[in-house]
Amino acid sequence: MSDPLLSVRELKRHYPVRSGILKRKTGAVRAVDGVSFELRQGETLAIVGESGCGKSTLAETVIGLDEPTAGEVVFDGASLAGGVDKSFRRRVQMVFQDPFSTLNERMTVGRLVAEPLVIHDEREDDRAAYVRELLETVGLDPVRHYDAFPHELSGGQRQRVGIARALVLDPDLLVLDEPVSALDVSVRAGILELLRELQAERGLTYLLISHDVSVVRQVADRVAVMYLGEFVELGELAGVLDDPAHPYTEALLSSVPRVRAEPAPDERIRLPGSPPDPADPPDGCRFHPRCHLRERLDDDAAARCVADEPTLTERGDGGDPRQSGDGRTVACHFRPADE
Ligand SMILES: Nc1ncnc2c1ncn2[C@@H]1O[C@H](COP(=O)(O)OP(=O)(O)OP(=O)(O)O)[C@@H](O)[C@H]1O
C-alpha cells in the first residue's frame, strides 16, 4: 500500500483560558485532544460530530492555520513542525462553508479565482484563459460569471467559485469544511456531485468536516466520529453508519431521519443534557455521563467507564468473530455482552 498523503499523530490543540485582572492562565479548552488518523491519496475521510466537538479546530490545525499544542502533522512525508512552506500552501487548499465571508466582495469572480495564482506567481501568461476554463469545469459560465460580482450569484454558484478558487493551484488535498451547510437542500446534491466528479478526474484527496450524516454518506470512504475533542470511532463508511459500534455514534445516527424508514420515536436515543465543557471534560470515557448503554453494564464495568479513558482499539480484540475484519477502531471497551 502507498504511503499516506497525510498523517496526523496524537494532535492536540488547547486554547488557554485566562481569568482575573491579571489574565492568568487558569485552564485550557481542549478543543482537539489527541487525534490520530491517516489519509491516502484519492480517498475521502469525513469527520463528523456535533457543533463544538472540535472539527473546525482540527481542520485548521491540520492545514497549518493554527499551531498544535502537541502532536504532529506529516504531509507527503514532511513534518509541518517547523511551519508550512510555499509548496504546502499550494498543495493543500480549503473550501469553506461560506467562501465569501472572508473574501473581498468588491472583486469580480475572475479576479477572486485568479488571486492565488497572483500570490504564487504562477501562469502569468494565460491566467484569464485558465480561470475561464476552471469556471466551466465547476459548472459556471466562463464569460458571464467571470465578470460577475459575488453578490450577483446564488449560494450554489458562490460555492462553485469557492471550489474553483481552491482548485486553481492544482492541489492534492482539499479540506472541505461544511461545504454545503449554508446551501438550500435543493442545491446541495449538485455541489456534492461536482466534488465527486472532481475527485475522480483529478485524483483529489478530501478531508470532509461535517455535522451532517447525510452529506457524509454521499461523499466519504471512511468516517471518524468526534466527541469532545477525541475520535470515538473510525472506520469504513458503511460499517460505521450502518452498524455503529460506539454508543455516541449510535445516538448521533438515531437522530438523523432516514430516507426510507425513519426511526420510530422509541428508537431515537435522546442524550441527556448537553455536551460537557471541553475545558473540564469528564474523567474516564468522556461520553460516560450521557451514555445510554452504561446503565446496562454490571457495576465493575460501569465503574471502569469513569476510571479508565478508553483509546481507539480495533474491534475484534475481544475475540468476537462478528466484530473482527473491518479494521474499525472504537474507543469503548464496555459494550454489554448481548450487543
Ligand atoms: N480561539 C479559540 N479560543 C478558545 N476556545 C476556542 C477557540 N476556537 C474554538 N474554541 C472552542 O473549542 C471547541 C471546539 O470548537 P470548534 O469550532 O473546533 O468545534 P466544531 O466542531 O467545529 O463546531 P462548529 O461546527 O460549531 O464550528 C469549542 O468549545 C469552542 O468554543
Task: Count the Cβ atoms, other than its own, within 10 Å of residue 166.
Answer: 24
**C-beta 281 within 6 A of ligand 1:** no
Q: How confident is the model at residue 293 (pLDDT cuts 50, 70, 90)?
A: confident
Q: Measured from the CA of 279, which atom of ligand 1 is nearest?
A: 29
The answer to whether residue 109 is domain-embedded is no
Identify whether 278 is part of a domain.
yes
User: Is residue 162 within 8 Å of residue 177, measured between CB atoms?
Assistant: no
At 233-261, the pLDDT tens digits run: 999 999 999 989 899 999 999 876 555 45
pLDDT digits (tens, 9 = 90+) for 213-236: 999 999 999 999 999 999 999 999
Range from 183-197, 258-272, 288-302 that averages highest in pLDDT: 183-197
* 294's grid cell: 452504561
Sign of CA dihedral 302, 303, 307, 313: negative
Mean pLDDT of 98-115: 86
Ligand 1 geometric centre to CA of 50 (Å)? 11
> Does 279 reside within a domain?
yes
Question: Which residue range forms the structural domain that includes residue 260?
Answer: 226-330
Q: What is the pTM of this model?
A: 0.91
Give the per-residue pLDDT at 257: 59
DSSP string, 194-256: HHHHHHHHHT-EEEEEES-HHHHHHH-SEEEEEETTEEEEEEEHHHHHHS--SHHHHHHHHTS
The answer to whether the CB of 55 is under 6 A from ligand 1 is: yes
Residue 38 lies in a domain: no
Cα 54 to ligand 1 centroid, rounded to whole Å: 6
In a domain, 179, yes or no: no
Contact 265, 237 (CB under 8 A): no
Task: Please give the number of the atom of ligand 1 that sits closest to the Cα of 49.
Answer: 21
Do the interacting molecules here have an ipTM over 0.95?
A: yes
Count the domains in the chain: 1
Best residue among 56, 97, 181, 252 to mutate for probing ligand 1, ranked by most atoms within 8 Å of CB = 56
CB 306 within 8 A of CB 57: no
Cα-to-centroid distance, 101 and ligand 1 (Å): 18
| Gap from CA of 251 to ligand 1 centroid (Å) | 22
Q: Angle at the Cα of 133 (from 208 to 94), degrees rounded to 5?
A: 20
